[in-house]
């Protein structure tokens, strides 16, 4: 052994053979992804076991080595699960941590595991497996919130509130209808998450560094062993595709946008000015200085975290932009953001579900607001159209009536039939029906409209959509 080679003793990097100098310690730490990717340890072990079993079946490894590797990896997994695993930053990433511990534990057989594979296909495989699992968690969260919205829509069926455009009272709607609008947004989130799941559901393993390998690997077998639906067709694409993470980041971002919109309304509705809902104490905070305060902190926090998740999407888009084929170290930056996105969305879904399930719905305040905004004006004009008055003229007549009421501080509902007739003789004794808030709602019978019957039908549709989503979930769990 040459004198200089002695220095290499102790350099236990897995590529130590090629190198003459020790790695710079600070730079090694800079290049390490272990603190971020070690959460994928279960997937790393699963993928390594599948690889070893496949190598055994193909006659590349003998049965004794395969058994030693599979059992050894189980043992490594047990120490990680128990929290007794000795993490060492010199290992750089989860793949090296697991493999080097395995080799310390079982000796030479451990050194055979890496036959015909590369960390490039390993990291792509682990990340896909991990994201499939996490997407299932997110789908469960989405379904949970949809269930909460459905329950609230059910429990308060018949409650009327103002519907808004431009944040101005427009037409009365059922509170259930409003809740169901969020339900359907989440149904689309479900579809986006499933699309992200499907994008992740193909195996890159066996692509090795980029070009495939000379060993007789059976990619289909290892893919099936890991529960993938198939294999990725092109080895270069397999190691450098991160679209599945972009899809997931996008699905998370859109879902966060939906939660932020919902939270914005919960915040607004829980103000003294609105008073439509009262958030449970369990989902509110107080003020350290103002004794009267009850703040919707958590709804605000969900709204605030939306920016982070959208940022995670933009970060990954920028990381991937212009990267040449195949693997580049830039791609190590793929995980931190998407981990943050899924963690954040999962926590937000749980928080908003709790908030929605426990809030008090103040039906009286909603009704008062619904009667206060002249929202019957459209129906009153339609009534006159029914009496043969052209819509433009009817619009003008009702506009004048609204102006008069506004000046006198009255609502349209407070007008008697005689007062209506005095304003315009075409108003008959049944004109008060036109301004009745419940009847206004009930008349909106269009499919998807706010009429009681239409909303009931919509909720039925929602229930079967939810059952379909739950079936998807149980097929994956
Ligand atoms: N830690 C790396 C990552 O997360 C694993 C793949 C590294 N491959 C390589 N040739 N440096 O992307």
Q: Give me ligand 1 centre to Cα 111, in Å.
A: 19
Quick: pLDDT tens for 416-451: 999 999 999 999 999 988 999 999 999 999 999 999
Q: Give me ligand 1 centre to Cα 226, in Å.
A: 21
* Nearest CA among 344, 300, 357, 379 for reference residue 179: 357
Name residues contacting ligand 1 (CB within 6 A): 33, 37, 93, 119-120, 123, 327, 329, 331-332
The C-alpha angle with vertex 340 and arms to 285 and 470, in degrees rounded to 5, equals 85
pLDDT given at position 3: 40
Instruction: Look at the pTM and tell me if it is higher than 0.95.
Output: no
pLDDT given at position 339: 98
CA dihedral 412, 414, 418, 422 (to 10 degrees): -40
The answer to whether 452 and 442 are in contact (CB under 8 A) is: yes
Q: Give me ligand 1 centre to Cα 233, in Å.
A: 21
pLDDT given at position 388: 95
Report CA-CA distances (Å) from 293 to 104, 286, 298, 299, 355: 59, 5, 14, 15, 18
Q: What is the mean predicted confidence (pLDDT) over 205-221?
A: 98
> What would the two tokens of residue 462 be?
């929602």
Walk me through the domains of the chain, giving residue ranges and CATH numbers.
3-115 (1.10.275.10), 127-156+173-215+233-362+467-476 (1.20.200.10), 377-435 (1.10.40.30)
Instruction: Give the DSSP letter of residue 49.
Output: H
Burial of 97 (0-12, 13-18, 19+ CB in 10 A): buried
pLDDT given at position 177: 98
Q: Which of 31, 123, 207 to mutate to test the pocket of ligand 1 (most atoms within 8 A of CB)?
A: 123
| pLDDT band at 9; cut points 50, 70, 90 | very low
The rounded percent of the chain whose pLDDT value lies above 70 is 97
Measured distance CA(253)–CA(113) in Å, rounded: 38
For the chain, the straight-line distance linking the first and the last C-alpha, in angstroms and rounded, comes to 55
Q: Please provide residue 280's backbone torsions phi and psi, each rounded to the nearest 5 degrees.
A: -60, 150
| pLDDT band at 8; cut points 50, 70, 90 | very low
* Nearest CA among 399, 400, 401, 397 for reference residue 415: 401
Task: Match 């932020």 to its residue by tokens.
Answer: 260
Quick: pLDDT tens for 52-74: 999 999 999 999 999 999 999 99
How much is the mean pLDDT over the chain?
94
**Minimal-distance CA residue to ligand 1 atom 3:** 332
pLDDT given at position 290: 80
Please give the number of the atom of ligand 1 that sits closest to the Cα of 209. Answer: 10
The rounded percent of the chain whose pLDDT value lies above 90 is 88
| pLDDT band at 291; cut points 50, 70, 90 | confident
Quick: pLDDT tens for 93-133: 999 999 999 999 999 999 999 999 999 999 999 999 999 99
Q: Please provide residue 169's backbone torsions phi and psi, each rounded to the nearest 5 degrees.
A: -60, 130
- Catalytically active residues are 166, 287
Measured distance CA(207)–CA(239) in Å, rounded: 7
**Is the pLDDT score of 396 beyond 50?**
yes
């Amino acid at each position: 052994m040459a004198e200089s080679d002695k220095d290499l003793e102790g350099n236990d990097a897995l590529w130590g053979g090629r190198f003459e100098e020790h790695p710079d310690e600070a730079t090694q730490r800079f290049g390490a992804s272990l603190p971020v990717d070690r959460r994928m340890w279960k997937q790393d072990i699963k993928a390594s076991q599948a690889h070893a079993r496949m190598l055994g079946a193909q006659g590349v490894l003998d049965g004794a080595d395969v058994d030693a590797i599979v059992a050894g990896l189980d043992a490594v997994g047990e120490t990680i699960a128990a929290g007794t695993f000795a993490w060492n930053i010199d290992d750089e990433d989860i793949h090296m941590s697991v493999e080097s511990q395995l080799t310390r534990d079982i000796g030479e057989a451990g050194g055979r595991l890496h036959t015909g594979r590369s960390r490039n296909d390993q990291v792509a495989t682990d990340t896909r497996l991990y994201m499939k699992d996490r997407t299932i968690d997110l789908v469960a969260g989405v379904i949970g919130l949809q269930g909460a919205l459905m329950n609230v829509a059910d429990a308060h069926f018949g409650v009327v509130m103002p519907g808004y455009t431009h944040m101005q009272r427009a037409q009365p709607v059922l509170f259930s209808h409003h809740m169901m609008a969020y339900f359907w947004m989440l149904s689309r989130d479900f579809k986006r998450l499933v699309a992200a799941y499907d994008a992740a559901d193909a195996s890159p393993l066996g692509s090795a560094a980029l070009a495939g390998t000379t060993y007789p690997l059976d990619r289909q077998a290892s893919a099936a062993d890991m529960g993938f639906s198939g294999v990725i067709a092109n080895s270069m694409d397999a190691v450098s595709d991160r679209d599945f993470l972009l899809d997931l980041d996008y699905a998370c971002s859109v879902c966060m946008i939906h939660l932020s919109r919902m939270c914005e309304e919960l915040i607004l509705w829980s103000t003294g000015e609105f008073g439509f809902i009262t958030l449970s104490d369990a989902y509110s905070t107080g003020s350290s200085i103002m004794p009267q305060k009850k703040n919707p902190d958590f709804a605000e926090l969900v709204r605030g975290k939306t920016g982070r998740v959208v940022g995670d999407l933009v970060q990954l888009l920028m990381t991937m932009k212009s990267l040449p084929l195949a693997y580049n170290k830039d791609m190590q930056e793929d995980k931190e953001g998407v981990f943050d996105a899924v963690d954040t969305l999962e926590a937000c879904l749980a928080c908003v579900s709790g908030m929605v399930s426990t809030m008090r719905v103040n039906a009286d305040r909603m009704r008062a607001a619904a009667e206060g905004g002249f929202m019957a004006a459209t129906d009153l004009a339609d009534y006159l159209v029914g009496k043969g008055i052209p819509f433009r003229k009817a619009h003008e007549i009702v506009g004048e009536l609204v102006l008069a009421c506004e000046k006198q501080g009255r609502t349209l509902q407070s007008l008697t039939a005689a007062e209506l007739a005095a304003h315009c003789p075409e108003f008959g004794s049944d004109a008060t029906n036109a301004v009745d808030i419940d009847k206004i709602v009930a008349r909106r019978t269009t499919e998807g409209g706010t009429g009681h019957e239409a909303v009931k039908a919509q909720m039925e549709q929602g229930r079967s959509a939810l059952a379909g989503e739950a079936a998807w979930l149980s097929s994956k769990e």
